Amino acid sequence: MAESTTQNLTSSKIPALGTPILLLSLLAMMTLPIPTFLLDILFTFNISLALVVVLATVYSQRPLDFAVFPTVLLVATLLRLAMNVASTRVVLINGHTGPGAAGSVIESFGSVVIGGNYAVGLVVFAILVIINFVVVTKGAGRISEVSARFTLDAMPGKQMAIDADLNAGLLSQEEARERRKEVSQEADFYGSMDGASKFVRGDAVAGLLILFINIIGGISVGMGQHGLDFSTAMQYYALLTIGDGLVAQVPALLLSTSAAIMVTRQNAAHNMGKMLVSQLIMNPLVLFVTAGVLFVMGIIPGMPHIPFLLLSLVCVTGGYFINQHQQKQVSTEAEIAEQQPVPEPVVKELSWDDVPPVDQVGLEVGYRLIPMVDPAQDGKLMGRIKGVRKKVSQELGFLVSSVHIRDNLDLSPNAYRIAIQGATVGDAEVYPDKELAINPGQVFGNLDGIKSKDPAFGLEAVWIDASQRDNAQALGYTVVDASTVIATHLSHLLQTHAAELFGHEEAEQMLKGLAKTAPKLAETLVPDVVSLGTLVKVLQNLLVEQVPVRDLRTIAETLAEFSSRSQDPNVLTAAVRVALNRLIIQNINGLKDEIPVVTLAPDLEQILHQSLASGDDEVVGIEPGLADRIQVSLKQVVEQQEAAGQAAILLVSPALRSSLAKFARFGIKGLHVLSYQEIPDNKQIKVIANVGNQ
């Protein structure tokens, strides 16, 4: 520990000198004379660096694994240009002494690579420049530009998809944070690659200009200062200049190629070599057809027979061995399947075990959806359902029952059905090989696909191919896969039907948890204060109105206070709601200080009070015409509040709250009914509408 602390202190005192030293070195190469031996080392290092970058590009699993590539590209380009300046100085000063004036590397490229012929060297250099500038660099620059634009356009859609997965419980906060960071890094990377491709393009142009400047300047210096004739000066300086240019163009071409490889790769983790083999030649039919074409070309009179026939034989041999290998794999899998023993059915007496209990939560799927729930087939739905259960359990305050999944041949192949306590509460159809593009309310275009609706919230949606994902996100759609659709639908239904999932067993487990933090309170609550049945009913009443029950201590203390006045679960529920008012308001209106509410006209409120006083505890039992007018008015308020992005809250007297909440629950989706007592003291009320009886 002490050693680690010492190292940290030492490293904090030592300044980061790498970047300043590199910049000073580049400046020194451009301004100070460099010995030829050092030039040889630098040119060799430049070629080695280019090879390292190419190999790092090929072996990286995905582009973001080599995110520093744009910076490396810039540094390598500046290094190469600095060496061009240094070598130009040496060539112009010592070029009259012969081809070895600028070092062994330049001499080797000028004599060995092009055979000492500067005309051949000019042609080779021109071809390299054309390949680098016109083909590789231009194509890579265009791909970088398009990739950067589409990546930036798709960022809002990707962020919304991450938020949707987080809300559905498919991602933790840490995983969502990492996903958002990766999206940001991807945008930064492709934006940097778009700029870095311009450096490569400019470097190719600079290499061509430097060549002509060096040849003209060298001939002028040789003839004007050293008295060489034109032929000798041309031979000396042209060979040195072309050798210098080739030494620079070879690593430049390697770096341009690595940039092109980087921007043409998919942003997914894969080994480039394995993908080339698996996608290019693993189909033996491709090699057989290629062998046939080569054979026909090889037997045509006048064609070079040996190369074509030889490559035809290689393709036939390769296709044969690949075909044999694939057939062997299939037969091996079949033998393994046959060797597995098939158990004989055992006939046994009928017992109570043959009467299956009703599953609290069940999911039935059609046969095409079976791979989604089969871990052996890389099914992701099982893991996502566990995430949904964990998230819903944490939000509601009790452990949600396990989801029992089974296939049902009576369903259509792409259909699924969700049941709670044996009764179906939701069903829909999904397409495992497609993705659902959901319209969140505002999009900028239409998509081709299968029109549908989001089964959880009823939003307009389209089933699209996976290849359209980036385009859909760029248009503003939220794109999710089939597993996410089912998981989100399940999460919504679990929260909606939470009261049906809560029973005596769950209440007992919650009391055990309360006993760990408040043992006296838990000990006296049941049965001294209330019965277990009353406690269960109170908690179910809260869950029916989407109020979490995780704060059992506050609930228990409130029951202990009011149990002496009444044992009616509805009266106790109203008291508990007042105690939980901060949590209720926070879930509805967030942390805002001002609460927009709708109130009832005094005449209407008096009519409803009289209805309750007459013994009718159901407000829905009032005159039908009046009930319709109330419902229409409240629906208009809900629509206005949803359009403004605010919650719709109806504020009534405590005596009416329970009955009007039931009235709204079955007729007005999205309306929250609160009593005056449920408004916290630190919140302000803003009346935005008044519902009358006219």
Q: What is the predicted pLDDT for the residue at 242?
A: 74
| 350 belongs to a structural domain | no
Q: Are both 418 and 519 inside the same structural domain?
A: no
The CATH number that applies at residue 514 is: 1.10.8.540
Phi first, then psi: give them for residue 35, nearest 5 degrees: -60, 150
3-state class (DSSP) for residue 425: strand
Q: Which two tokens stand for residue 475?
A: 């248009």
pLDDT band of residue 10 (cuts 50, 70, 90) is: very low
DSSP state of 110: I
Q: What is the predicted pLDDT for the residue at 603?
A: 84
Q: Are both 285 and 266 inside the same structural domain?
A: no
Q: Are both 542 and 436 inside the same structural domain?
A: no
- Angle subtended at Cα 629 by Cα 602 and Cα 639, rounded to the nearest 5 degrees: 100
> What is the total count of domains within the chain?
5
The answer to whether 436 and 452 have CB atoms below 8 angstroms apart is yes
Calpha distance 428→493 (Å, rounded): 13
Q: Model-level pTM greater than 0.95?
A: no
Helix 552-562 / helix 569-579 crossing angle, nearest 10 deg: 130
Nearest CA to 84 out of 267, 285, 252, 227 is that of: 252
Q: Are both 415 and 484 inside the same structural domain?
A: yes
- Of residues 99 and 604, which shows the higher confidence score? 604
| 114 belongs to a structural domain | yes
Q: Are both 629 and 683 inside the same structural domain?
A: yes
Nearest CA to 464 out of 480, 449, 451 is that of: 449
The answer to whether 193 and 64 have CB atoms below 8 angstroms apart is no
Q: Are both 257 and 299 inside the same structural domain?
A: no
Last residue of a domain, one of 476, 497, 518: 497
Calpha distance 684→592 (Å, rounded): 9
Q: Are both 213 and 79 inside the same structural domain?
A: yes
CA-based R_g, the chain, Å: 38
3-state class (DSSP) for residue 594: strand
Amino acid in position 245: G
Residue ranges in 299-433 assigned as alpha helix (H): 305-339, 370-373, 381-396
Q: Are both 557 and 636 inside the same structural domain?
A: no
The mean of the pLDDT values for the chain is 79
Q: Are both 24 and 161 inside the same structural domain?
A: yes
- Give the torsion sign (CA, 329, 332, 338, 340): negative
Cα-Cα end-to-end distance for the chain:
79
Last residue of a domain, one of 468, 497, 526: 497
pLDDT digits 0-9 by tens, 498-541: 999 999 999 999 999 999 999 898 888 888 889 999 999 999 99
The answer to whether 267 and 127 have CB atoms below 8 angstroms apart is no
| 334 belongs to a structural domain | no
Nearest CA to 66 out of 189, 181, 149, 183 is that of: 189
| 23 belongs to a structural domain | yes
| 69 belongs to a structural domain | yes
Calpha distance 204→575 (Å, rounded): 79
For 140, residues 6+ apart whose C-beta sits below 8 A from its C-beta are 197, 200, 256, 259, 260, 263, 264
Q: Are both 41 and 99 inside the same structural domain?
A: yes
pLDDT digits 0-9 by tens, 441-490: 788 888 889 999 999 888 899 999 988 998 998 888 999 999 999 999 99
The CATH number that applies at residue 629 is: 3.40.50.12790
DSSP state of 547: -
Q: Are both 618 and 522 inside the same structural domain?
A: no
The answer to whether 249 and 260 have CB atoms below 8 angstroms apart is no
| 13 belongs to a structural domain | no
Q: What is the mean pLDDT of residues 644-652?
A: 86
Q: What is the predicted pLDDT for the residue at 96?
A: 66
User: Strand locations in 616-676, DSSP E?
Assistant: 648-652, 671-675
Lowest average pLDDT, out of 256-265, 355-364, 562-571, goes to 256-265
Q: Are both 470 and 510 inside the same structural domain?
A: no
Q: What is the predicted pLDDT for the residue at 348?
A: 67
Lowest average pLDDT, out of 4-8, 62-66, 145-149, 192-196, goes to 4-8
| 629 belongs to a structural domain | yes
| 608 belongs to a structural domain | yes
Question: Is 50 exceeded by the pLDDT of residue 495?
Answer: yes
For 159, the domain range is 19-271
Nearest CA to 482 out of 389, 381, 382, 374 is that of: 381
The CATH number that applies at residue 396 is: 3.40.30.60
Q: What is the mean pLDDT of residues 595-621?
A: 73
Could you tell me what percent of the chain has a pLDDT over 70?
Answer: 82
DSSP state of 131: I
Last residue of a domain, one of 479, 497, 515: 497
3-state class (DSSP) for residue 566: coil
DSSP state of 565: T
